[in-house]
Structure 1
Amino acid sequence: MGFEQLAALKDQLAKQAEEKRMAKRAQHAKPAQNAKPAKQAEAPKQAKPGRAAPTAARHAQAQKAPAQKSKPVDPVVLSIGKLQKRFPKAFPKNPAPKVPLKVGIFKDLLEHSEELGLNEAALRDAIKVWCWGSRYWACVAENAMRVDLNGQDAGQVLPAEAARARGLQAKRQKTKNAAAQGGAAQQAGADQQGSAVQQDAVVSQDGSAAQQDGTAQEERAVQQDVAAQQNSTAEQDVVAQHDDGASQQDTPAQQGNVA
């Protein structure tokens, strides 16, 4: 075979190889062309104008809303809390019953004022409030043992002291009863007035004679209402007098228990 024939054969083989490569490329390119284009990511929906997203709206409202102010705690309550924490046997927490305190316990507390962080005025107010009320008066029974700051026996309740405590309880109960009766009298007067107005409206349809009768009933109802209001006012005055008398008479009693 001559040189020219070998060159022609090489060219022919090279062409065949190139055609095969082109065919393979065409086969690989078809699947890519037939594949569907990927969906574009949907853009987030925009909120309608004038309406904010719920979460953002709530967050904005929470920021705008002013913080609720907590109610201030009575300083006397804080002082009593310190006493209960430091001397739990002398100042037991509710619902445990109170115990009669030693006569002169206030002086003992003054020795611990620096430790408690309470001055003389704060201690005096705390003792007055602690010894004022049904829970303390109930424990001041005749011959009951008084206790010191550590809960140790420190004398007995005298008959006169027990009688004074019972008197304070009776006055407080009487005041409550009087206030309740005053409210009931006012309600009864309002009910009577409403009933009289209804009767007058019904009677007015039957002529002049019925109108006169209705007028008389209305006058009686008004008189009853005025009487009920006067009774209520008198009862409230009695309550006020009892409160004034109790405050004037009870303060020495408290100081007797505290001093």
Structure 2
Amino acid sequence: MGFEQLAALKEQLAKQAKEAKAATKAKAPRARPAAPTGPAKSVDPVVHAIARLQKRFPQAFPKNPDPKVPLKIGIFEDLLPHATELGLTESGLRDAVRTWCRGTRYWTSMVEGAMRVNLAGQGEGQVSQADARRAQHLRASRGARARPQAADAPNSKP
């Protein structure tokens, strides 16, 4: 077979493929898969609890990318009367507050002298020097745990 014959054969096969594709499109539209009846992935209940807190108390529990704010000491006791309204149990509420207050974003807000806020977002007290030092220590220790893993990674530069 010569190049001319191969080129003609290629054109013929491409034309047939195009016609077959057009014929299948014209026959019937593709059926879409049915929507899943349940959630594809289960979401941690703490995430749902935090979302409820953010919706009900946006000044005390701001959504990302807004920075977190230091919460007043005893905020959990202030939240307990709202637990049923939020659809949370005491332990679910406790887990949500505990998770909210753990993490670099919260620890960054814990600066000495920063205003602590109540559920309405109004100032109630300030971050003490001891609390600020503890937050700084927690941020540093989290960073120290992450560094050895990065050091173990192979260097991509030759």
- Please give the TM-score of this superposition, normalised by the length of structure 2: 0.75
For 1:205-226, what per-residue CA distance to the aligned partner results, in whole angstroms no more than 9, with x for missing partners? Answer: xxxxxxxxxxxxxxxxxxxxxx
Q: Show the counterpart of 1:58.
A: 30
Q: Would you tell me which structure has more helix in proportion to its own residues?
A: 1
For 1:48-105, what per-residue CA distance to the aligned partner results, in whole angstroms no more than 9, with x for missing partners? Answer: xxxx95444833xx46x88596222221111111111111110011111111001000
3-state SS of paired residue (2:124): strand
Q: For 2:86, which of 116, 123, 133 is the aligned residue?
A: 116
Change (3 A) 1:148 1:66: closer
Q: Show the counterpart of 2:149.
A: 179
Q: For 2:121, which of 133, 141, 151 is the aligned residue?
A: 151
Q: For 1:78, which of 48, 67, 71 is the aligned residue?
A: 48
3-state SS of paired residue (1:155): strand
**What are the residue-to-residue correspondences of 1:1-259 with 2, within 5 Å?**
53-54=24-25, 55-56=27-28, 58-59=30-31, 62=32, 67=36, 70-184=40-154
3-state SS of paired residue (2:132): helix
Alpha-carbon distance in structure 2 between the residues aligned to 1:67 and 1:144:
47
3-state SS of paired residue (1:122): helix
Decide which structure has the larger Cα Rg and report it.
1
Unaligned stretches of 5+ in structure 2?
A: 1-22
3-state SS of paired residue (1:146): strand
For 1:118-164, what per-residue CA distance to the aligned partner results, in whole angstroms no more than 9, with x for missing partners? Answer: 11011001001100111100000111111110111111111111100
Change (3 A) 1:66 1:95: closer
Alpha-carbon distance in structure 1 between the residues aligned to 2:86 and 2:114:
28
Letter in 2 for 1:58: R
Letter in 2 for 1:89: Q
Letter in 2 for 1:81: A
Alpha-carbon distance in structure 2 between the residues aligned to 1:176 and 1:156:
30
- Backbone CA RMSD of aligned residues: 2.4
| Superposition misfits of 4+ residues, deviation over 6 angstroms | none
Change (3 A) 1:181 1:154: same
Alpha-carbon distance in structure 2 between the residues aligned to 1:66 and 1:117:
27
Letter in 1 for 2:144: K
Alpha-carbon distance in structure 2 between the residues aligned to 1:141 and 1:106:
21
Change (3 A) 1:145 1:66: closer
Letter in 2 for 1:179: Q
Q: Show the counterpart of 1:244.
A: none
- Please give the TM-score of this superposition, normalised by the length of structure 1: 0.47
Could you tell me the percent identity over the aligned residues? 52
Change (3 A) 1:113 1:134: same
Alpha-carbon distance in structure 2 between the residues aligned to 1:112 and 1:57:
51
